[in-house]
A and B are shown apart, each in its own frame.
Chain A
Amino acid sequence: MASAGPSPGTHAGESEPRSTGASTDQPSYGFPAGFWRALERRRPPGFGRRPLWRSPLRGPWLTSMFGAALLVSLPLVIITGLLDYIAYGPRFGQAIPANVGWLHLPYFDWPTRPAWLFRLTEGLHVLLGIVLIPVVLAKLWSVVPKLFVWPPARSLAQVVERLSLVLLVGGILFELVTGVLNIQYDYVFRFNFYPAHYFGAWVFIGALVVHVAVKLPTMVRALRSRSLRAELRTGLADTRPEPADASGLVAADPTPPTLSRRGVLALVGGGSLLLAALSVGQTIDGVPRRAAVLLPRGRSYGDGPNDFQVNKTAAAAGLRSSDLGSGWRLSLTGGPRPVELDRAALLAMSQHTAELPIACVEGWSTTQIWTGVRLADLATLAGVPTPGAAHVRSVQVGGFNQTTLQRNQALDPDALLALRVNGADLSPNHGYPARIIVPALPGVHNTKWVKSIEFRSA
């Protein structure tokens, strides 16, 4: 794809900085040349006035530094995001959106090992997404003169490329806005977050791939134009603008610098570090947790056995104490005849303890010590010792009240119907009387307030 770069010297190089002193060059026009010339003469006020842009730091090298940082990190955000879609089990119809056509990674059975796999992919997706916000903003700041350049195009090629930039910039901003609102439970946009974020990502991915293909040669050339090591040794007093070129980024009439180039890099990096310090505690227990002071999952719930992060309270799930009291029964189906168990019968079965993380799509996670009955033992009891899948239902009414577990998830030795956590009975908010906990399973599929499990034969 890298060969798709613009051919040399054909249009007054938006991306061809090889001709210095662009003002002396006669710009060339694609078809229809008369139209582009006429457009160029009809400049609306405020457009194409290069004196408007006066920062002495804007230039292809600085833009390429931000571009390179995003080029390295954005693929990680994209891959982890697409992996998380697979983690939800799209083949059981329980990933949202359900119909994604061809827009997905190849489907595979989400593994249960390592147990922190989903914690890693989801945590990385959300954390990196947050940390990249200053870099994205800096990248957009560095190229903003191009938004107001006049004429906006001199050829059809530039028109199509600008259209793709709408998808690129709109795409990244849309993904950041919806993601940042979602992790804070602010659904001000009112549409369903999942399809919006998922399909928005694909719009962005396509635009990103093409943007990289078109601009990669420009970026490499710009990065080679200055030495990073030398820039890191250059203080404010010696900071000069980058040489004027055809990129249109370098100010025609720059003001004296108030920050060095290394200062700007430090400022953007510092912004990212600040956000990282305030966000990493969403996924790491202990001291970092307390630093996540502005996010929902940095909050302290106290230090009791059940005092860890809740995702949906029993009250919000519409549960009454009568639903979860002595009348509660677990029914196991799928075998020759249904089996009903009360909580005492479950506690009388062989108990297994496992230290497992619970990780949610909002990017937070925590590790706790869970005790309960192995799902494999329940499958044997139900008369389906090697199930192909297990369908779990909750007492809860409404969304996310059921889930289908793959064979490997139902039969993992640490896959539990948990009755206790950290040595105490589960609290109602954590799924009393019984909840699912399976290694590397997305949090919302670790169904709480379980009422039935159907073991489906292979």
Chain B
Amino acid sequence: MRRILARWTAFYGANPLHLLALLACLALAGYAALLVSSDPLAVRMLLWFLAALIGHDLVLFPLYALADRSLSGLLSRLPRARTATRPTVSPLNYLRIPALGSGLLLLVFLPGIVRQGAVTYLDATGLTQEPFLARWLLLTGTMFGVSAVLYAIRLGAARRTGPRPAD
């Protein structure tokens, strides 16, 4: 028995239970797909399923990773001459965190901000999506503003405690 198991494992690459569990998962997905396949727009659903995956892995992730790398690259290349004699605190996180917050809100509340689905919104609520863009801009401004104040405080504190080696 043990030899059969070892040969199976060498062949397949994992315990037989691994295959059984995964086949159960694929079968369940197949069953759900079968039930939804009678829907006239089932193909559209499948396309959105794949688009969600590709949209995250090959669009959203590379975009924010690139933006973050560009930001830190840019900051590290800032001329240091002026700050050499002064204490420095990297502004990286003071830019990165409000940018992430603002981006997260844009991502989640995009329909209201760009006024997508205006007709169904009006039918459902009796209101328009008019205020959302301004509110998102205000929230974004607040986050960057608070961050700027915190940065100024950190910078002031660092100056009082004297210079430290530049990072």
A residues contacting B by CB (< 8 A) are 1, 3-7, 10-11, 28, 30-31, 97, 99-103, 130, 133-134, 140-141, 144, 147, 154-158, 160-161, 163-164, 166-167, 169-171, 173-174, 176-178, 180-181, 184-192, 195-196, 199-200, 202-203, 205-207, 209-210, 213-214, 256, 258-259, 263, 267, 270-271, 274-275, 278, 293-297, 299, 301, 309-313, 315-316, 429
Q: How far is the CA of A127 from the CA of B121 in the complex (A)?
A: 20
A30 contacts B111, C-beta separation under 8 Å? no
B108 x A258 contact (CB < 8 A): no
Q: B residues within 8 A CB of A275?
A: 104, 108
Kindly identify, within residues 1 to 39 of chain B, every residue whose CB is under 8 Å from any CB belonging to chain A.
9-15, 17-26, 28-29, 31-33, 35-36, 38-39
Ranked 5 nearest A-B pairs via Cβ: A155-B13, A30-B13, A157-B13, A186-B117, A316-B123
Which of chain B's residues 57-110 have a Cβ closer than 8 Å to chain A? Answer: 57, 61, 72, 90, 92-93, 97, 100-101, 104-105, 107-109
User: Does B148 lie at the interface of the complex (its beta carbon under 8 Å from any beta carbon of A)?
Assistant: no
Point out the residue from A3, A166, A294, A309 that lies within 8 Å of B132, measured CB to CB.
A294
- Contact in complex: B28, A203 (CB < 8 Å): yes
Bound CA–CA A170/B50 (angstroms): 6
- CB closest chain-B residue, reference A259: B93
Q: Which of these, B9, B25, B53, contacts A169 with CB under 8 Å?
A: B53
How far is A154 from B120 in the complex, measured between Cα atoms in Å?
50
* Residue pair A196, B25 in contact (C-beta under 8 Å): no
Cα(A237)–Cα(B92), bound, Å:
15
Is the beta-carbon distance between A173 and B56 smaller than 8 angstroms?
yes
Give the CA-CA distance A429 to B122 in the complex, in Å: 12
- Interface SS of chain B: helix, strand, loop or mixed? helix
Chain A residues with CB under 8 A of B10 = 10, 28, 30-31
Of B22, B57, B97, B135, the contact of A294 (CB 8 Å cutoff): B135
Partner of B120, one of A28, A169, A187, A256: A187
Q: List residues of B (114-131) whose CB comes within 8 Å of A's CBs.
A: 116-117, 120-127, 131
21 A–B pairs (Cβ distance < 8 Å), ordered by A: A1-B21, A7-B9, A101-B31, A133-B104, A140-B56, A141-B61, A156-B13, A160-B22, A167-B26, A184-B109, A190-B44, A191-B41, A191-B42, A196-B48, A200-B32, A200-B49, A202-B28, A263-B93, A271-B101, A294-B139, A296-B127
Take A7-B9, A30-B11 as given contacts and tell me if A101 and B123 are in contact as well, using a CB distance cutoff of 8 Å: no
Given contacts A210-B24, A293-B139, A294-B135, contact A258 B109 (CB under 8 A): no
B136 lies within 8 A of chain A by Cβ: yes
In the complex the two chains form, is B127's CB within 8 Å of A258's CB? Answer: no
Task: Kindly name the residue among A10, A263, A315 whose own CB sees the greatest number of chain B CB atoms within 10 A.
Answer: A10
Indicate if the CB atoms of B13 and A10 lie closer than 8 Å: yes
Interface of chain A, main secondary structure: helix
CB neighbours of B9 from chain A (8 A): 7, 10
Chain B's closest residue to A167 (CB) is B29
A274 contacts B104, C-beta separation under 8 Å: yes
Q: Tell me which residues across on chain B come within 8 A of A156, comparing CB atoms.
A: 11-13
Chain A residues, CB < 8 A from B61: 140-141, 144
- List residues of chain A with CB within 8 A of the CB of B92: 258
Closest to B101 in A: A274
CA distance A104 to B111 in the complex (A): 31
B117: chain A residues at CB < 8 Å are: 181, 184-188
Contacts known (A4-B17, A206-B25); A191 close to B44, Cβ less than 8 A: yes
A271 to B64, CA, bound (A): 15
Cβ contacts under 8 Å, A164 to chain B: 22, 25-26
Q: Which of B17, B26, B112 contacts A296 (CB 8 A)?
A: B112
Count B-side interface residues using an 8 Å CB cutoff.
Answer: 70
Contact of B13 among A11, A181, A199, A278 (CB under 8 A): A11
B104 and A190 contacting across the interface, CB-CB below 8 Å? no
What distance in Å separates the Cβ of B150 from its nearest Cβ neighbour in chain A? 13
In the docked arrangement, what's the CA distance between A205 and B31, Å? 13
Known: A101-B35, A173-B52, A181-B111. Is A147-B57 also a contact (CB below 8 A)? yes
**Smallest distance from the beta carbon of B67 to chain A beta carbons, Å?**
13
CB within 8 Å of A: which B130-167 residues:
131-132, 135-136, 139, 167
Given A157-B18, A296-B112; A196-B56 close (CB under 8 Å) = no
Q: Which of B25, B45, B101 has the most CB of A within 10 A?
A: B25
Q: Which residues of B contact A205 (CB under 8 A)?
A: 28
Knowing A170-B49, A429-B126 touch, does A203 contact B17 (C-beta < 8 A)? Answer: no
Q: Which residues of A contact B35 (CB under 8 A)?
A: 97, 99-101, 103, 199
Asked whether, in the complex, the Cβ of B93 is within 8 Å of the Cβ of A4, the reply is no
Q: A203: which of B22, B32, B135, B136 is its contact (CB, 8 Å)?
A: B32
Residues of chain B contacted by A203 (CB below 8 angstroms): 28-29, 32-33, 49
CB-defined contacts of A141 to chain B, threshold 8 Å: 61
Given the known interface contacts A163-B26, A184-B112, A192-B41, the answer about A312 and B124 at a Cβ–Cβ threshold of 8 Å is yes
Asked if residues A177 and B52 are in contact (CB atoms below 8 Å), the reply is: yes
A313 to B112: give the CA distance in the assembly, Å.
19
Residue of B nearest to A158 (CB): B13
Q: Please, which residues of chain A bring their CB within 8 A of the CB of B49? A: 170-171, 174, 200, 203
For B44, what are the chain A residues with a Cβ–Cβ distance below 8 Å?
189-191
User: Does A196 contact B15, Cβ atoms closer than 8 Å?
Assistant: no
Q: A310 contacts which of B11, B18, B126, B167 (Cβ < 8 Å)?
A: B126
Beyond A174-B52, A190-B41, 6 additional contacts (C-beta under 8 Å) are A144-B61, A155-B14, A160-B19, A191-B45, A203-B33, A206-B28
